Amino acid sequence: MIYEFPLTEGIRRFLRIEMLAEQSLVYIEQDSEYSTIAAVRALLDLVSLVSKNDTKIELIKQLDQVMLIESLSEADRLEANELKGILSRQSFRAYDAIKENVFLNTLRQRFVIVGGICAFDLPVLHNWLNMPFQTRKEHFYEWMAVIENVMNAVHFVLRCIRGSMVTEECSFKHGFYYRSVKWRAGLLRINMNDYNFFPEFSGNRHQLSIRLVEQSSPWDPPKQVDTDITLQVEICGA
């Protein structure tokens, strides 16, 4: 398991966008009404993040920073410039097809109510769910196409940031690590595959603390690891 910690608010949002996109795409490929509901719920959360104007601004800024990476290939540099141009030309009304869709807006309003999408509450949803699986998929991917430009840019930025990294050894005393930092990085990564505990991060580009925590089952309280250990931490986008 690789744990990632964003060092900026922009990267934090990109990671959330990436997670929601992966969730929705996994769910929509399963021929189940409940999976389709989960896919649409994730899609609506995704749209609320993607359609914010500062997401586009942050993406353009990150694409400019990516193009400054010395190790970036010429092909990636051209792609970054192309993505920046697409986003710069994109109208602020680009998401109207989703945001003004009556069906999706009805679902959005009912999703916030606990148990609010039963057939007696929302027959329009259950009528749609009763359509053939392939039809539901086609509708879903038509909605996803509206945010394709931003999704392509988010995936590209995160790929380049993860690919531009240096490794540093961090010594944990009794399961705790702290230091002041002056990184220009955007993301930290720790591979915990060889351990049965997990990291809890706190910090930003100026200070960082990591606490190693173990929990044998959900019924046991989590507790800090009481041992000294050295771990390799990947500093990405520096």
Domain span(s) for CATH 2.60.440.10 in the chain: 164-236
Q: What is the pLDDT of residue 238?
A: 65
Distance CA(123)–CA(108), nearest Å, equals 14
Output phi, psi for 210, to 5 deg. -135, 130
Homologous superfamily of the 9-160 domain (CATH): YacF-like (1.10.3900.10)
Identify whether the C-beta of residue 169 lies closer than 8 Å to the C-beta of residue 230: yes
CB crowding 210-219: b at 16 or more within 10 Å, else e: bbbebeeeee
Q: What is the pLDDT of residue 159?
A: 95
In this structure, which amino acid lies at residue 112? V
Domain span(s) for CATH 1.10.3900.10 in the chain: 9-160
- Over the chain (238 residues), the average pLDDT of each successive run of 10 is 92 96 96 96 94 90 89 90 93 86 94 92 96 97 94 96 90 91 85 90 86 92 92 86
Distance CA(132)–CA(64), nearest Å, equals 44
Fold classification of 164-236 is YacF-like (2.60.440)
Q: What is the pLDDT of residue 195?
A: 86
